[in-house]
Every structure is written in C-alpha cells, then in structure tokens.
Amino acid sequence: MIEVDRLQKTYGFAQALKGISFSVRKGEVVGFLGPNGAGKSTTMKILTGYLLPSGGRASVDGLDVVDESLAVRRRIGYLPESTPLYGEMRVDDYLLFCAEIRGVPRDRRRSAIARAVELCGLPRVVGKNIVELSKGYRQRVGLAQAIVHEPPVLILDEPTSGLDPNQIVEVRKLIERLGEEHTVVLSTHYLQEVEKSCSRVIVVHQGEIVADGTREQLIARQPAGGLVARVRGPEAAVLAQCGELLPGCPVTVLERGSDANVYRVEVGGAKAPVEEAFARLVVRNGWDLIELQRERPSLEDVFRALTLGNEAEVARA
C-alpha cells in the first residue's frame, strides 16, 4: 500500500532524510517511532503531498506522491501534528465541509459523516462549536475529518500529543478500531503508542531507519538483561562469594527484605552460563533460592540503544 525508496529531504545544508526505504502492506498498523527531530513528520508530509522530496521516490496504492499527488491525497486520511480545525464551526458543519472538499458524492455525504461521527465517538458533541470542545474531543474531530472520505490509508502524526492520560487511552482505542478497516501509519515518539496500537515498528533516527520489525523481533535483537535472584541467606556472604565465583559480573542488592534479598547479577562479562553457576553456589552454601530469572529487554531498552549511541558520542566529543 505504501512504498518508500531511498527517500531524501534536504533543507539547505541540513539533511532531514538520508535515503530511507520501507514498505507498508495493506491492513498493517505501523508505528513510525523516533525521537524529536528524527525525520518522522518530514516523511509524513512527503507521503501526504505537503512537501516535495529532494531525492528518491514514494508511492501510495501504486501512485507516485509527486507525479500523481491529487490521486494520492484522495486515498489518504491525514491527521497532522497540529489538528486542522476551524473553531467557530459546528462539528457537523465542519465534517460536511471536509466531505465536500474531499469530493465525497452529495448522495453519500450524510452516511459518510454519520460513519465518521460514530467511529470517533462524537454523537454527544456533533452539534457543538469546535472551540467549545476539550482537547481530546478536538483530536477526535481531527480523526473524523481524516476518515470522512473513507480512505484506504491513514497517516497520523503524533495523534495523542498534549492529551491527558484518560484522553490518550480513548484515542488509542479509537486508533485500534480504525486499524481494523484501514492501513495506518502512526508517527510518534511515545513508546506506549507503538506497544498498544501497532503490529510493526519502524525506528528512525537522524534521518535514517535504524530498525524495522515487530515488537518481538526488535526486542530479540537486544542482548538479554542481567540475572535477578531472590535469595534467603547472609547478604555479605552472598555478595562476597558471587564476586569470587563470577568475576566480571558485578552483583548489587536491588531490594532488601525481612527474610530474603533480591540481587542483580550483571552478566555482560560472563564466560559461562551464569544461571547454573549461581544456582550451584546457593545450593552449596545451604541458602534458599526463591526466585531466579533473566531480565527481559523492553521496547524502551531497544529504543534507547538505537537512538542514544550517536548522541553519547557527540556529547563525549
């Protein structure tokens, strides 16, 4: 449904996109994830015809975004980061206006507006002026204008930016519902958005794609975390003997309890299976091993590993 091939965008001497390539299949909900300034919004604006690329090409539903821009826009519903609303208009009048400029046939406008209102949970406010609505409802109106012409592709740029926690949950549920009927590209720097709403993640950093896959695939790329163990035994002895048995694997106390402590063993320098060695140590000393497990990397760990490396190098320089 979306094909991007070596897409570039340059502003003077600054290169916002450095030849990125990716594709989105029909029916996918893809999270376009990256820190601020990574190139997310620039990519969205090129796909929707708001910006011309400096190089490369992109297509939507087989149509080139430059050569067939109007045809592409008919197939896209776009919610930019700053929601395009006219506060003095009523919700129903605004959606009618959007349906008209989107080319929805006159005999279908009423049903198209009714569908958008129902999908976006707007029946209670459809007769109100937009300026009277909360930010959460204004965001819903923005989503309604994006789907009123029933496009096959939705491109949503930071759809929950500035919302409170309750509003965020509501908009996430709405995006999940829209994902059942549309191909969705969701641009965000919020990890929770991707984890809750997306079937696939593309991570972009400094104008380049640094990862592309499902959440599970990205997490599998990250090395396993440390070893966490809950042990009933003398703390000083546990720390001392772990240090002797597992050199290069620092041990720290994560939590002190009335009858047992939780320890973390850093396994980065281990030359042998740490779990087995640790378990044998506990048994040999007559301590009680209550719990033993590896820390599981999170999407946040993956994101930080992919996007903090270059910044750390710049800071050190």
SS (H, E, C) 157-205: ECCCCCCCHHHHHHHHHHHHHHCCCCEEEEEECCHHHHHHHCCEEEEEE
Tell me the β-bridge partners of 10. 15
**Which residues, in sequence order, are CB contacts of 223 under 8 Å at separation 6+?**
268, 297
For residue range 145-181, list pLDDT tens digits in order: 999 999 999 999 888 877 788 878 888 888 888 888 8
Q: Could you give the CA distance from residue 96 to residue 11 in angstroms, rounded to a whole number?
A: 37
Q: Could you give the CA distance from residue 27 to residue 183 in angstroms, rounded to a whole number?
A: 4
Domain residue spans of the chain? 2-221, 227-294
Q: Could you give the CA distance from residue 27 to residue 271 in angstroms, rounded to a whole number?
A: 45
| Cα–Cα separations (whole angstroms), residue 139 to 83, 174, 239 | 7, 11, 54
Q: Could you give the CA distance from residue 155 to residue 80 in angstroms, rounded to a whole number?
A: 8
DSSP state of 120: T
On average, the pLDDT of the chain sits at 87
DSSP state of 297: P
Strand pairing of 227-232 and 288-294?
antiparallel
Tell me the β-bridge partners of 253. 263
| Cα–Cα separations (whole angstroms), residue 74 to 71, 223, 265 | 5, 44, 56
Residue 15, SS3 per DSSP: strand
Q: Could you give the CA distance from residue 123 to residue 152 in angstroms, rounded to a whole number?
A: 24
Whole-model pTM: value is 0.75
pLDDT value of residue 268: 65
DSSP state of 90: B
Q: What's the mean pLDDT in 8-33?
A: 92
pLDDT value of residue 312: 39
pLDDT value of residue 313: 35
Q: Of 140-144, 208-212, 307-311, which gets the smallest average pLDDT? A: 307-311
Q: Could you give the CA distance from residue 50 to residue 200 in angstroms, rounded to a whole number?
A: 25
Q: Give the length of the chain.
A: 317
Residue found by looking up tokens 């590993």 in the block: 305
What tokens appear for 93 in the block? 């009048």
Q: What's the mean pLDDT in 253-265?
A: 89
Q: Do residues 156 and 187 lie in contact, with contact meaning Cβ atoms separated by under 8 Å?
A: yes
Of 197, 198, 148, 145, the residue nearest 168 (C-alpha): 197
% of the chain residues with pLDDT over 90: 49
Q: Do residues 124 and 141 lie in contact, with contact meaning Cβ atoms separated by under 8 Å?
A: no
Q: What's the mean pLDDT in 129-155?
A: 92
Residue 296, SS3 per DSSP: coil
Q: Does 3.40.50.620 match the CATH number of domain 2-221?
A: no
User: Sorting pLDDT into bands at 50, 70 and 90, what band is 272?
Assistant: low
Q: Do residues 99 and 109 lie in contact, with contact meaning Cβ atoms separated by under 8 Å?
A: yes
Q: What's the mean pLDDT in 84-91?
A: 92
- How many CB atoms sit inside 10 A of residue 216's CB? 8
Q: Does 3.30.70 match the CATH number of domain 227-294?
A: yes
